[in-house]
Structure 1
Amino acid sequence: MNTRLLTLPVVAALSLTTAYGTSAGATTAATAATGASGAPVAAGVVQAPKPSPASSPVGPGCSSLPQSGPGSVADLGRLRVVTAAAHSPDLSTFYSAVNKAGLVNKLNTTKDITVFAPTNEAFNKLGKRKLNKLLADKNALTKVLTYHVVQGRKTPADLKKGSFTTLEGDKITTRGSGDKIKVNDAHIVCGDLQTRNAALYLIDGVLTPKK
C-alpha cells in the first residue's frame, strides 16, 4: 500500500486548519485594534472620558471659591453636578433637598444641563416654617427643584436676555451681564462653573414656578 497517498488527506486537513486559524486570529486582532466602531485604537489604551468645558466664573461671590481642594473650580470640574453641590459649603441645603426629592441620579446622569442652585442663604429667606414644609412635601419639592434646571449648558452670553423652558415645564427668564445677571428675580452669586455634566450657577433666591 502506498503510505504517501494515505498521508495526503491528513496534510491537507492540517493545512486548512492552520490557514483558518491564522485568518480568524488576524480578524480578532484587527477587531481589537480598531474597536467596535472601526476607529483605530492603540493596544492597551483606555479612552478617557470627555473633559468638562473650562469654567469662566462670573458673579460677585466667585472670589470666595476655594483656590484648591473641595469646592474649587478644578474640583467641581471633575464631578457630576449634584456631587459637585455636595462639595460646595454654600449648597448644603440644595444638596439635601435634591436627595429628599430623589433627584440625585436624574440630575447626575442627564447630559449637558444648566442648574441654577439656590444657596443656603436663599433657602433661609423662605423662613424656617416654609422651608421645612417644602422639604417635607416631595411632590412640591420636586416641582420647585426641576424648575431650576434647563437643558443645555448655558453661558453668561446666553443669559444676557434669555427665556428657557425648565425640566418642570414652566419658563424662566434671564437678563444682565458680568456680575449682574438675574434669573427671574434672583441674582447669580457665582456661575458658569462647569461640572462633568452641567453648568452650575449659584443664585440668591429660590425660584417658584408660576403654574
Structure 2
Amino acid sequence: MKNILAIATLSAAALLQGCASTPAPATITDTAARTPQLSTLNKLIAEAGLADTLRQSGPYTVFAPSDDAFKAVPAKTLAELAANKELLKSVLTYHVLPGKVGSAEMKNGNAKTVQGANLALARAGGFVTVEDAMVTQADVPASNGVVHVIDRVLMPPKK
C-alpha cells in the first residue's frame, strides 16, 4: 500500500511540475525579445523608448516586421530612423493598432493606428495583408495583445 501511495504522490508532483512549467503569454515587448526573427524590431522598440509602453499597457495589435523585412529597407532610411527618435517612434507606432485583433476577426478596410494614420487591412481565406505586407505568422499571443509577423516594414504616409 505504501508503494502505491508513493507512486501516486510522485505522479501528482510530476503532473503539477509539468503544469507549472507551461509559460503564460508574455507581454508584446517580451514576445518580441523572445522571438529570434524579431531581434531588429526588439532593438528598435528599445531605442524608440516604447518598451515600457508595449509591456505595461494595451491591449494592442502589433504588425511586427521580421528581421528580413528590415534588411530590405534602404540603409539611408535606417540611418535616418536611427538619427531621429521621433521619426522612429512614428514608424513603429504605425505598426500598432489599439485593441486586440486576431487574424480571424480582421475585416477588409482601414484601421486607425496608434500613430494616427490608417492602415489598409485585407483578409482572404487564411491570408492577411496590411498595406503591401503579408502576414507570415499570425496570432502570436501576448498577455497585453497579439502580434502578427509581417514581411515588410510599413512607412506612414508623409504629412
* Length-normalised TM-score, structure 2: 0.80
Alpha-carbon offset, residue 196 of structure 1: 0.6
Cα deviation 1:26-45 (Å, max 9, x = unaligned) = xxxxxxxxxxxxxxxxxxxx
Q: Please give the alpha-carbon distance, in whole angstroms, between the structure 2 residues aligned to 1:205 and 1:149.
A: 14
What is the deviation of 1:173?
Answer: 1.3
CA deviation map 1:38-82 (0-9, x unaligned):
xxxxxxxxxxxxxxxxxxxxxxxxxxxxxxx9xxxx75x521101
SS in 1 for 2:55: helix
Counterpart of 2:91 in structure 1 is 144
Question: Is 1:82 equivalent to 2:29 in the alignment?
Answer: yes
Report what 2:52 is aligned to: 105
Aligned-residue sequence identity (percent) comes to 33
- Please, which of 65, 78, 103 is the counterpart of residue 156 of structure 1? 103
- Paired residues for 1:1-211 under 5 Å: 77-210=24-157, 211=159
In structure 2, the gaps of 5 or more residues are 1-20
Q: Classify the secondary structure of the residue corresponding to 1:111.
A: coil
Give secondary structure in 1 for the equivalent of 2:38.
Answer: helix
Deviation at 1:205, TM superposition (A): 0.7
Give the ranges of 4+ consecutive aligned residues of structure 1 lying more than 4 Å apart after TM superposition: none
Pairwise CA RMSD of aligned residues? Answer: 1.7
Question: For residue 89 of structure 1, what is the amino acid of its counterpart?
Answer: P
Structure with greater contact order relative to length (CA < 8 Å, sep ≥ 6): 2
Letter in 2 for 1:147: Y
Structure showing greater Rg: 1
Comparing 92-101 with 125-134, greater Cα deviation is found at 125-134
TM-score (norm 1): 0.61
Aligned equivalents of 1:135, 1:159: Cα separation in 2: 32
Total equivalences in the alignment: 138
Q: Could you say what secondary structure the match of 1:157 adopts?
A: helix
Cα gap change, 1:147 to 1:108, in 2 (>3 Å) = same
